[in-house]
Structure 1
Amino acid sequence: MSESRSRWADIAGDDAGERYAARFAKLAESGADMHGEARLCAELLPPGARVLDAGCGTGRVAIRLAELGYDCVGVDLDDSMLEVARRAAPELTWILADLSDPADLGSVGAGSFDMVVAAGNVIPLLAQGTEARAVAGLAVRLRPGGLLVSGFGLDAAHLPLASATVTLADYDAWCAASGLALEQRLATWDGAAYDGGGYAVSVHRRTPGG
């Protein structure tokens, strides 16, 4: 594991999994749409595609995609979150690993995924200074032509933080350095066009030589 402490660990504390799961269960009971991320991913690739849910948390996105016929693997640094995911879907593969640690991520097959999805502010909640390395590690997991789909906040109103930690210019530069080209940018997981607001969903494709 990386010695750098992630921003997620700083804000979540210990045993976040049960609290996080309870929060989303309450949202689901209220009638909130819980599957926007999975729905967008399913629009980008057909069932049967292999998907890595990076920073999967309690597995909400991976589990829904698996229900839709995708071959899913989840990876997260927080074992309390993975415990919830394993109980909910023991048939899926859940891996404890640090996205920013190349050695740690080595347990996730290189070049074996059609898509990597990083929902839930995964990129801004990485340890400071590890973001470029994490993006590079995710790019390596993709097959040529595979997609990296990431959504995150760009201001405090869309983050569980006092201020933004990542700009789109930063993120695009890390992607470009990792052999990924921007294909589309959206304002929401529902597919609304990006208008410069405080949240963005970015779809990058691994180039043939990337």
Structure 2
Amino acid sequence: MGKPTRWATDTGPEHSRWYIDRFRRMAAEGIDLSGEARLLDAMLVPGSRVLDAGCGPGRVGAVLHARGHRVVGVDADAELIEAARADHPGPVWLVGDLADLDLAAAGEPDPFDAVVVAGNVMTFVAPGTERDVLSRLFAHLRPDGFAVIGFGTERGYPLPEFDADLTAAGFRLEHRFATWDLRPWLPGTDFAVSVLRRPAGAVGGDPAPR
């Protein structure tokens, strides 16, 4: 892996365990944790191949798997991946850094129909690697595949920077919403859910990092 992520440097040593326990507790209480997955499922054909990037303990990928999709989840935090494997068998859960992601080397060479990046993942990657992360996600998508990325825009990654980075990575911005249930995005909104497309005729996108 490359530089430490903000998840590792900006949180305490017990943060991952707290995060795992928090979502286990919420699930036990019957709280709806499936909003992001419902949106992706509505956009996909049955049996699609989906990359859950920054999957954490697996709540999004698990729902997509249950709905019949083929899911690979990746997170830099080994403790979160261990929890995903324990709580949600079925998907492939892998430890990996999104900034130098190479799933072919991990035994997953096939491109993905879609990528989901939920849970403020883009604000937790290592500083200065945001464009690299987007480029690696682009590289793992099939032509005309799409990514849906949501994060708080006041958490250190301003939306104009994100838009410049997604364009540099090769993506085309298709839609933007204020929430995962598709409420309209307006200037000044502090959260953004962006739908990005890898154009069908786009060149590049080497699945292995250079």
Match of 2:173 in 1: 182
Give the letter aligned to residue 94 of structure 1. W
Give the letter aligned to residue 199 of structure 1. F
Give the conservation status (yes or no) of the 8 Å contact 2:178–2:193.
yes
Give the conservation status (yes or no) of the 8 Å contact 2:103–2:109.
no
Give the letter aligned to residue 59 of structure 1. G
Q: For 1:112-152, what per-residue CA distance to the aligned partner results, in whole angstroms no more than 9, with x for missing partners? A: 10001110011111111111011100110000011111000
How far apart are residue 65 of structure 1 and its match? 0.5
Give the conservation status (yes or no) of the 8 Å contact 1:52–1:117.
yes
How far apart are residue 109 of structure 1 and its match? 4.4
Unaligned residue ranges in structure 1 (runs of 5+):
156-163
Q: For 1:94-113, what per-residue CA distance to the aligned partner results, in whole angstroms no more than 9, with x for missing partners? A: 11110112568853746610
Indicate which of 178, 181, 190 corresponds to 1:198: 190
- Number of residues paired by the alignment? 201
Give the letter aligned to residue 148 of structure 1. A
Match of 1:158 in 2: none
Q: 3-state SS of the aligned residue for 2:8?
A: helix
After TM superposition, the score normalised by the length of structure 1 is 0.88
Give the conservation status (yes or no) of the 8 Å contact 1:109–1:141.
no
Match of 1:82 in 2: 81
Give the letter aligned to residue 116 of structure 1. V
Give the conservation status (yes or no) of the 8 Å contact 1:75–1:94.
yes
Q: 3-state SS of the aligned residue for 2:121?
A: coil
Aligned counterparts, 1:1-80, within 5 A: 1-2=1-2, 4-14=3-13, 16-80=15-79
Give the letter aligned to residue 99 of structure 2. S
How far apart are residue 178 of structure 1 and its match? 1.8
CA 1:105–1:176 in 2, change beyond 3 Å: closer, same or farther? farther
Q: 3-state SS of the aligned residue for 1:25?
A: helix
Match of 1:208 in 2: 200
How far apart are residue 27 of structure 1 and its match? 2.6
- CA distance in structure 1 between the partners assigned to 2:62 and 2:46 by the alignment: 13
Of stretches 58-67 and 164-173 in structure 1, the one that deviates more from structure 2 is 164-173
Unaligned residue ranges in structure 2 (runs of 5+):
203-210
After TM superposition, the score normalised by the length of structure 2 is 0.88
Give the letter aligned to residue 195 of structure 1. L
